[in-house]
Structure formats: C-alpha cells, structure tokens
A and B are shown apart, each in its own frame.
Chain A
Amino acid sequence: MIELAFVLFIIASTVLLGVWATNKSQSVSDFFVAGRSVNVFWNASAISGEYLSAASFMGVAGLIMKNGYDALWYPVGYAAGYLFLLLFIAGPLRRFGAYTIPDFAEGRFHSPAFRKIAVSFVLFIGFFYTMPQMKGAGTVMQGIMGWPYWLGIMIVGSVITFNVALGGMKGITIVQAMQYWVKVFAISVPCFVVMSFLGSYNETLGKALEVPKGVPIIPGSVISMKGKAGAPNNALALSTAGESLVKFESDAVLTSISVNPKPKKEDIFDASGAILAVGSSLEVSSKSKDLVVPKDTLVRVIPFEVTSAEGRKSKASLKLEFDQPSKIRVTAPRSQNDGDAFAPNSPTNEKWAAPFGPLTSKNGYPILYTYSLIIALVCGTAGLPHILVRFYTNPDGKSAKRTTLWVMVMLGAFYVFTPMWGSLGRTVMPILYASNSTDMAIIKLPTMLGNETLGHILAGITSAGAFAAFMSTFSGLLVSMSGAFAHDIYGKIIKPESSSDQRKTAFKFAAVGIGAISMLLGLLVESFDIAMMVGWAFAIGAASYFPLLLLGSWWRGLTAKGAATGMLVGGMASLVAIVTTMLIDKKYVTLEVSPLVRSLMEQPAIWGVPLSIALMVGVSKMTAKQVPHDVDTMMLRLHAPEELGHSKDYIS
C-alpha cells in the first residue's frame, strides 16, 4: 500500500507539473523545441531524465546482479556514449540549426528523399525503445501491487500521452528535469540506507568474493517459475556447488531437462545418476522431455564431473525448463548448510567478479562479445533520435557542449549506484536468481531490511523512481516521434503548405495515435527482457544514425546516396540479425548456427557499424560528382562559432 501511494504521488505530480508548464507554452517553436531557451542546467537535467530509462533504473542493476563484472560495461557504455556525443556530434549538430534529425538529413544534402529514410528510422528506433518502457511499467505494478500486466501500461501510457499532446516539448522539459532528480534520489538514498543495515559496497563485494567457488545460499521459500512464455527466463539451472532438492509445490510440466553448462561434443561425463525422484515412481533422467510432474514430487539433483578433451575437469549439473508458470521450493539435504540450498542460475563468486564471465563467454568468444557490446553502447547513444533532438533546445553550439558536460556529471552520479544495487542483490537477496527476476532487485531489495515499515517506504521510493524512469523516457520518445510525424511527414511531405497552427494540431493527433500504438506494442512484449529490447534499439541506432551524423558533420565527401545506402543496409542488417536471435531464443524458429555466428548475430555492432561506415564511404566515392555543391558553406555552418554568423535556424 505504501508503495502504491508513492507511485500515485509521482504520477499525479507529473500530470500537474505538465499542465502548469503547458500554460506557459504558446508558440510553435515552444512546442517542438521548447523555444530554444532552456538553460544549461535544466536542459542537462531534462536530457539525463530522458536518458535514464527503465533499462538504466532496473535493468542494469539486475544485469550486474545476474552476470557480475561483464555487465559493468552497461553503465560504463551508457556514460561513455555521451562522451562520444560530446566530442564529435553535440556542437556541430546544434550549430546546423535544424529542428529534427530528418531536417539535418535533408538540409545537409538537399535531398527530400533522404528525409523519408531518416524519418522512418526515427519511428523505428522510437518504437523499439518504447516497448521495454511499457514492459517495465507493467511488471513493476504486477510485482508490487499484483495488478494485471496491462493496467500499469495503460496508466503510464495514457498519463504521458495526455501530457505530451497538451504541452509538446516545453510541457515535458520541466517534467523530465524534475524526474531526473527523483531518479537520483530514488537510487541513492535507499541504497545508502540499505547499506547502513546490511554492510557497505566494498564489504558486500568482499564478502561475495571470499570463497572463489562459492555461490550464494538461498532459504527454502517458495519460488514462482515463469512458463514457456518467459523463455529464455523459464529455466532453473541447479548449482554445481552441491546437491539440491527440488520440491514441486504445484503441478508442472518440464519441457526439457539438459546438462548445464552445455557440454561440448568431446566432453566425457556420466549424468545417469544426476537426477532422481525421491519417494515416488516418477521416471526422470538427464534427458527427459515434456515430463509431467505431479504436485508434491521431490526430486534430487546431484552435480557430476565433466572431463574435457584436454583433460580439464569441471563440475556440471542440470537445467530444468518449465512449460507453465509453476511453484517450487529448492532446498538441500540436512547435512549441507542446514538444508539451505545453493542459489540456482547463479555463477560462482569467482566467475561473477572477474571479466569474461557468464554473459560474454556463453558462446565461447568472450573478447569479441565484450568489444561488440562496448561498440553498440557507445555508438548507439550517439544514434538515439529522442536524445539528439534535445540538443536543439539549446540556444547555441557552445551551450550544447556545456549541457553535455553537465549530462556526463549527472549520468555518472546516477550510474555509479547501479553496481552497488547489483552486488547488494547478490549477497542479500539471491532468491531472485532462482526465479530469473533479478530485474526486480532494486524494487524488492529494501524489503529485506528486517524493518517492515522502513522497508516498504524505501521500496516505495525506488518504485516511484522506476515510474519516473518509464514516464520520462516514454514522453521523450513520444515527443520525438510525434514531432517527426507532424514536422517531417505532415509538414514536409503530406502538406507542405500547412500553417504552423495546423502542424501543432497534427502534432497532437500524432501524439495520441502513437501513444495508443505504443501501449498496444507494450502488451505484446510481456515475455521479453527489458535490457535485451533496449539493446536492439541501441544496435540499430549505432549502425544507422551514428555513422550519418559522424560522417555528415566531419567529412566533406559524403553524398546523399552514400549516406542513405550505409544507413539502410547497416541498420537493416543489424535489425535482422537481432530479431533472428530473439526468435531462436524464444524457440519460434530453430536454426543451428556456429557459436561464432551466434555471437555476431547477438551483438551485431562489431560488424554493423564498420559495414555502415564502409558503405557510406564507398558509395560516396562512387558518386563523388554528387557531393553537394555548397558543402563548404555547410561545413562552416556546422563548425564555425555562432558569433561569426554562419549558422541559421530553420525556423525561429
């Protein structure tokens, strides 16, 4: 109940603040770019507020808890991406003086056709990015209030759509700025309180590392497993550290039982005694498929030794995949830890805290995976249209750079807390590993304090922070997508002679329409991982917008054809690779690919970005005659300081 009060408070204050700011927003320019008059500090707060999404607030801490050191690259990459943006793109982009990225695309090359391609990517990346926000809203309300999944989505979706349709960019700038401070408060203060009860950052990390082969211990409470719809998060990978007893508290169907970690062809092992039913006649083996397990069955799982072709010995155990949502308990024989079991699905301490752990080495190419992830995060940040559009709200290029500097400080101050939550989660609440819900760490952790009221208050604060995250990111996306529609599609393509008031009306209609579509899409993605979905948006942005902006502002020889080819092919190829991986994970398609190809498909940035840049350069060389004739003027506009008077605003 306390949690709900906090969430309702943040929703209500968002609406009120939005309405208040709207009354101050009058002109068309106000509507699209907040009158270009937002000062550096507030604009930086608003950019940070917009950037820190559900993935940053909940997903990153969850990933660090689940995968340890490797996942540290997420907060680092998100922050470093901004550094890239500052170094290469922020100043020139603002000086160019266009409203939206498609404006830049058309203005730089005098090519209306290129605008259409650029607009389609705004909508593309935008929708990919809204889906995880919606999913976050749905699951948090499910987690803290037990509401149905769609209700959280409807609430967040309609509140934000209302705000955006009413106030445009200016209406949300102040709201997003406030929400940045809500999020920083919500991630830092509860973290300090939790640490004061349960041990500080380095203490928990040190404790987590004491026994290299150790795994956190979980109490034998009831665990809810997700069914097939939650794949690949419907598995219970039992620990290799010791024996586990799995008690089925409800009827269950196991789609498959398999050896984990997945053995290579040459490995020698004997899994015949690895699993047996205790006190029932159930026939179960390490290769069972579609096994019906009645309620109250007790199953014993015993780790066994695997010898590789080179003679290295390691431990393996079994992985149970659930078909339907089911309830189980995991315990251990009395002889071991007083019956408490080793947490399933958890890597050992040593693997968790060291580089090239479970996340990056799952396909056998840890270095490749790590670098590809870094490229996707760093270049992807510089390719997110809803972030880029924010630079136009600065009065000039100089303040655009200063804003980015402030954003770096604000983002760093936020992200430094995410690994703290991740490591606290590992030591304090390892039961989240078993149910594959490490995403909820930041919401659920405060309840472990042992002080119920304080726990609920802190959980309320973190839930409110999570809601601030969904709402601010979704409103930013909605503004940039509706802006693209009203300004680029309606104003430049459908009805070029439309008056500015007509465009304002088009913006409002577009906001309502796109808001509704986003809510529908949100309902479809209940079973996907938040961080995974955000990864898609980043990879597509990295292979499409980033090369366009980088080369567009720094290389004279770029032609419209070159830029369009690189953007389309690079972006589309990455998209196809990612969607295919996801379909394989979900078992909609079966496709056996080699581990190398699989790594490259899952993290396409390492080939997608160079491919896109190479195509841009190659095709531009071939069409060198079509380099815009006024490229020197363009470069002056992009790079010369405003005081010299080369810049011009498209619409002032």
Chain B
Amino acid sequence: MNLYLPDLAKARVGGFTLTWLILGVLFFPLTWILSSWFVKGTERIDAEIVAEESK
C-alpha cells in the first residue's frame, strides 16, 4: 500500500497517518480475528473426522 498508494497512506486520521494507524494499531486485532477463525475452523474439521472414523 505504501508503495502503490503513497497519498492514501499519508492521509490523516485524528493525528495518525493512515498507514501508521493500520500497522501500529489495527494490525493486532486483525491477528486475533484471523487466529480465532483458524482455530475454530480446524477444531470443526477435527471433530468431523473423529465423528466419521468412529462410525
């Protein structure tokens, strides 16, 4: 984004530059969402496999 949209990256959001806000603040909650989605997904698949095998 910094490479292709330098002006957007420099836009200000309440004192932050947009790119700083994304990388320095919003990135962390994003990792939480991704990882919880992954953990739920794998647990569901695991449960399906177990159910199938034990039939």
Contacts and interface: CB of A to CB of B under 8 A. Distances in A.
A57 to B, nearest CB: 17
Contacts of B16: 202, 205-206
Interface string A269-291: 00000000000000000000000
Interface string B6-23: 000110101111011001
A47 to B, nearest CB: 14
Contacts of B42: 91, 401
B31 A408 contact: yes
A354 B53 contact: no
B2 A416 contact: no
A419 B15 CA distance: 14
- Interface-central residue, A201, A203, A206, A355, by most chain B CB under 10 Å: A355
A205 B20 contact: yes
Interface in A611-647: 640-641, 643-644
Contacts of A205: 15-16, 20
Interface in A126-171: none
Interface in A39-88: 69, 72-73, 75-76, 79-80, 82-83, 86-87
Nearest to A203: B15
A353 B39 CA distance: 35
B28 A72 contact: no
A353 B17 contact: yes
Contacts of B27: 76, 79-80
B53 A72 contact: no
Contact of A643 (B24, B36, B38, B50): B50
B24 A79 contact: no
Contacts of A76: 23-24, 27
A640 B49 contact: yes
A248 interface: no
A32 interface: no
A353 B50 contact: no
A65 to B, nearest CB: 13
Contacts of B20: 69, 72, 205, 353, 419
Nearest to B10: A354
A249 to B, nearest CB: 38
Given A205-B20, A353-B20, A412 B43 contact: no
B19 A83 contact: no
Interface string A433-460: 0000000000000000000000000000
A69 B9 CA distance: 12
A17 interface: no
A79 B26 CA distance: 12
B19 A412 contact: no
Given A72-B24, A356-B2, A641 B50 contact: yes
A405 interface: yes
A616 to B, nearest CB: 25
A600 B32 CA distance: 32
Given A72-B24, A367-B3, A398-B43, A354 B17 contact: yes
B28 A415 contact: yes
A11 interface: no
Contacts of A408: 31-32, 35
B39 A644 contact: no
A481 B16 CA distance: 43
Contacts of A367: 3
A76 B23 CA distance: 7
A419 B24 contact: yes
Contacts of A69: 19-20, 23
Contacts of A72: 20, 23-24
B15 A206 contact: yes
Interface string B35-51: 11011001100110110
Nearest to B49: A641
B32 to A, nearest CB: 5
A400 to B, nearest CB: 10
B15 A79 contact: no
- Interface-central residue, B23, B35, B38, by most chain A CB under 10 Å: B35
Contact of B39 (A80, A354, A405): A405
Nearest to A643: B50
Contacts of B3: 367
Nearest to A199: B15
A577 B52 CA distance: 51
A209 B21 CA distance: 14
B24 to A, nearest CB: 4
B15 A416 contact: no
A91 B43 CA distance: 11
Given A87-B38, A408-B35, A644-B53, A398 B28 contact: no
A398 B43 CA distance: 7
Nearest to B36: A405
A402 interface: yes
Nearest to A69: B20
Contacts of B14: 202, 206
A579 interface: no
A176 interface: no
Contacts of A416: 24-25, 28
A588 B36 CA distance: 49
Contacts of A75: 24
20 contacts: A69-B19, A72-B20, A72-B24, A73-B23, A75-B24, A76-B24, A79-B31, A83-B34, A91-B42, A202-B14, A202-B15, A203-B15, A205-B16, A206-B14, A354-B10, A355-B2, A404-B35, A408-B35, A415-B28, A416-B28
Closest 7 CB pairs of A and B: A206-B15, A412-B28, A202-B15, A641-B46, A355-B2, A419-B24, A643-B50
Interface of A: 69, 72-73, 75-76, 79-80, 82-83, 86-87, 91, 201-203, 205-207, 209, 353-356, 367, 398, 401-402, 404-405, 408-409, 412-413, 415-416, 419, 640-641, 643-644
Interface of B: 2-3, 9-10, 12, 14-17, 19-20, 23-25, 27-29, 31-32, 34-36, 38-39, 42-43, 46-47, 49-50, 53-54
